[in-house]
């Protein structure tokens, strides 16, 4: 199983139930930015409280919750938030740079529905340079090893930039495989600067090439993005942005329409769904969406079957059962 059986079953049950209820738009994953996004001013607010987090979890009713944004382990109530989400039988991913994992291992036992998600963008020199923090790679590996020794699931996310080297990612994953990391996510870089039409076309083609090369080198590992989303990242098919399927909640409310371009904040998830003119967002519809291939917008499209093709369902089922946590396969994706 590429993901734990419980997560796969709960996600499938959630989708079937929402479809039977006639919900055309339904969320599959909720992201909680406890301290806001990395670009927000730290002095804006102290962050989300436990009650606010749980209210969002209960309102959105997704089986998967992701705690992310600025380093969430710096939140003073991270242990209480984690325990309350897990007590509600959600599958929880805590995104971190890894440096503070060791000192937070005591906050919960190693649940089967809990993942540490550590960001590593390359081997030591590459990662420290991108993070602009010398020694962070070593601290992250120490946190990963401590978490694995304690019996936790650990996932690593690598952002692919236009100048990323496939060989460097392969060396990183070889190291992590030796540490028994359970799975991997490849995330596309989102350029903050606006590009002209020509520049956008070149950027997309470069990113497609990058993902073709990187997945060709690391496809035997337990990659935890769906094969349909991977096809999109490699430029082999189109998907429609479905950011409503992966909403983000932060200190000021629900990000509308998404975390990459916050036009306003909605006070409820239902308000986010009903007030946002979703037809105005996506590639070819909005200049700020032109270079976005982000997980939050396009992986939900794959899971929800948005503009699906014949055979996609079988492809997803085969993908889930062909992988195995922490193991490598002889074949490639």
**196 assigned to some structural domain:** yes
- How open is the CA angle 125-130-136, to the nearest 5 degrees? 60
Q: What is the CATH number of the domain that holds 59?
A: 3.20.20.70
Rounded Cα–Cα distance for residues 191 and 200 (Å): 10
**146 assigned to some structural domain:** yes
CB count within 10 Å of CB 307 equals 12
Identify the CA nearest to 163 among candidates 206, 132, 199, 120: 206
**93 assigned to some structural domain:** yes
**330 assigned to some structural domain:** no
**18 assigned to some structural domain:** yes
Q: Which domain holds residue 42?
A: 5-322
**328 assigned to some structural domain:** no
**229 assigned to some structural domain:** yes
Q: Count the domains in the chain.
A: 1
pLDDT in tens, the chain (333 residues): 899 999 999 999 999 998 888 887 889 999 999 998 755 444 455 799 999 999 999 999 999 999 999 999 999 999 999 999 999 999 999 999 999 999 999 999 998 899 999 999 999 999 999 999 999 999 999 999 999 999 999 999 999 999 999 999 999 999 999 999 999 999 999 987 888 888 899 999 999 999 999 999 999 999 999 999 999 999 999 999 999 999 999 999 999 999 998 999 999 999 999 999 999 998 888 888 999 999 999 999 998 888 888 999 899 999 999 889 998 876 555
Global confidence as pTM: 0.94
CB count within 10 Å of CB 313 equals 11
**331 assigned to some structural domain:** no
């Amino acid at each position: 199983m590429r993901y734990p059986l419980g997560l796969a079953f709960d996600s499938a049950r959630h989708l079937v139930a929402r479809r039977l209820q006639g919900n055309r738009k339904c969320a599959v994953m909720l992201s909680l930015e406890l301290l806001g996004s990395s670009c927000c001013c730290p002095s804006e607010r102290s962050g989300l409280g436990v009650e606010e987090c749980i209210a969002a979890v209960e309102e959105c009713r997704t089986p998967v919750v992701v705690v992310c944004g600025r380093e969430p382990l710096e939140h003073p109530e991270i242990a209480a938030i984690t325990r309350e989400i897990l007590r509600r039988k959600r599958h929880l991913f805590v995104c971190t740079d890894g440096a503070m994992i060791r000192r937070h291992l005591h906050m919960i036992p190693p649940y089967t529905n809990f993942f540490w998600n550590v960001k590593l963008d390359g081997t030591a020199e590459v990662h420290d340079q991108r993070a602009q923090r010398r020694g962070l790679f070593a601290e992250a590996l120490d946190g990963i090893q401590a978490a694995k020794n304690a019996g936790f699931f650990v996932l690593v996310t690598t952002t692919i930039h236009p100048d990323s080297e496939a060989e460097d990612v392969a060396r990183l994953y070889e190291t992590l495989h030796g540490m028994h990391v359970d799975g991997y996510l490849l995330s596309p870089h989102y350029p903050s600067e606006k590009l002209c039409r020509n520049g956008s076309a070149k950027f997309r083609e470069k990113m497609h090439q990058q993902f073709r090369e990187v997945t060709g080198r690391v496809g035997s590992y337990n990659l935890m993005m769906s094969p349909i989303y991977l096809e999109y990242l490699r430029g082999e098919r189109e998907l429609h942005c479905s950011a409503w399927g992966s909403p983000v909640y932060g200190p000021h409310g629900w990000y509308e329409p998404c975390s990459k371009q916050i036009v306003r904040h909605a006070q409820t998830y239902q308000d986010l769904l009903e007030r946002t003119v979703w037809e105005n967002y996506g590639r070819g519809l909005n200049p700020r969406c032109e270079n976005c291939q982000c997980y939050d917008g396009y992986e939900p499209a794959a899971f929800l079957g948005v503009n699906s093709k014949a055979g996609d369902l079988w492809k997803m089922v085969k993908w889930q059962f062909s992988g195995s946590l922490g193991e490598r396969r002889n074949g490639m994706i």
